[in-house]
Amino acid sequence: MTALALLLIGFSLFSALTLALTHFRAENYPDQTRSRLMGLVLLLALGGLQLAHFSWLYLDQAWVSALPYRLTLFAVAPTFFLFSQPMLASTNQAPLRPSLLWHAAPLVLCPALPSAAALPMAFMVGAGYLLWLAHSLYLLRQERLRFRLEIVLLGTVFAVAIGVAALGLFQAALPEKLFFSLYAIAIGLAFFLVQTTLALHPQLSAEVSETVKASYASSTLVNVDCDATLAQLEALMQVERLYVDAELSLPKLADRLQLSTHQLSELINARLGKNFSRYLRELRVSAAKTMLRDEPRASVLSIGLNAGFTSQSNFYEAFREIEGMTPGQYRKLQPTASATS
């Protein structure tokens, strides 16, 4: 048990660093500055917990009994709320409001709690936040087909978190290091599942946020000729190839179509069955596929940039998500590329 815990502690620390450098970039969190910042803080908190677990399980240094550990433990659930809430809100992200300062209350009260009561109380607070998350996801149940696999994976994370919260209530009754071994394993499993989810769906946060707004909003298309607007959208993309503009955004495209951003978002979601981010990536990947077939001497990077992607990593993520392979693998399967080589 301890050996598995140590292995997953190492994986957790590596994953936290990887996610901070690759996933929590500004382009993956458009207009979601708070979510991005809280996500980075959450990674730091979970990494700190795992370092404390390592010091206790491997070095016999009781960092898990220290006040900084308890403070970090109390910080995880509120930080996760502040990370998730803007994405699951029905309106555009608002700045931090004074009412949100209530989420700092557990950290303020933590030093006053007896050490024996601190850990169970921290997990009770965490369970409360998990119930909020469960309720928020239930309200999106009609969108489950669009994110079926992602919901299964994140639901597993939720189940692991519930299990740890239940164990935390009885931590004092467990053998000395068993609980912290199980907790370290649970955090490691959560990192593994999150990494798997993001590998399948790199821009999940932006898509969930856009889908939430569309699902909660009243229809804004009452006075819009949807068929004519879709035809105009098709012309802008296929004739003018607006998608190659790396700076193309939902507001910018909505302005070209003389729509509001909410109208365009609803139109794409309702009539095309996808959100704007996915729609744009599919257009760019389709264009890249054509170039990979027809321009065998062009570099993969130049093709990605010419298709509208801002970097090679973004290109690879989108291509793998949509086609299930890298651009290089796709090119090798094409007759034109094979004949040229």
Which of 99-103, 127-131, 132-136, 177-181 holds the top average pLDDT? 177-181
Percent of the residues in the chain that have a pLDDT greater than 90, as a whole number: 27
What pLDDT score was predicted for residue 341? 41
Most confident of 145-159, 206-220, 247-261: 247-261
Residue 162 clears pLDDT 70, i.e. is over it: no
How does the average pLDDT of the chain come out, rounded? Answer: 79
**For residue 319, what pLDDT band results from cuts at 50, 70 and 90?**
very high
Rounded Cα distance between 273 and 320, Å, is: 20
**Closest by alpha carbon to 226, among 215, 217, 234, 216?**
234
Please name the amino acid found at residue 101. Answer: L
CA separation (Å) from 277 to 28, 89, 111, 138, 322? 10, 18, 44, 23, 12
Taking residues 321-333, report their average pLDDT: 90
Mean of the pLDDT values across residues 179-187?
87
Position 92 confidence tier, pLDDT thresholds 50, 70, 90: very low
How far is the first Cα of the chain from the last one, in angstroms, to the nearest whole number? 52
Q: How far apart are CA 199 and CA 313, in angstroms?
A: 12
Which pLDDT value is given to residue 22?
A: 83
For residues 166-171, average pLDDT:
68
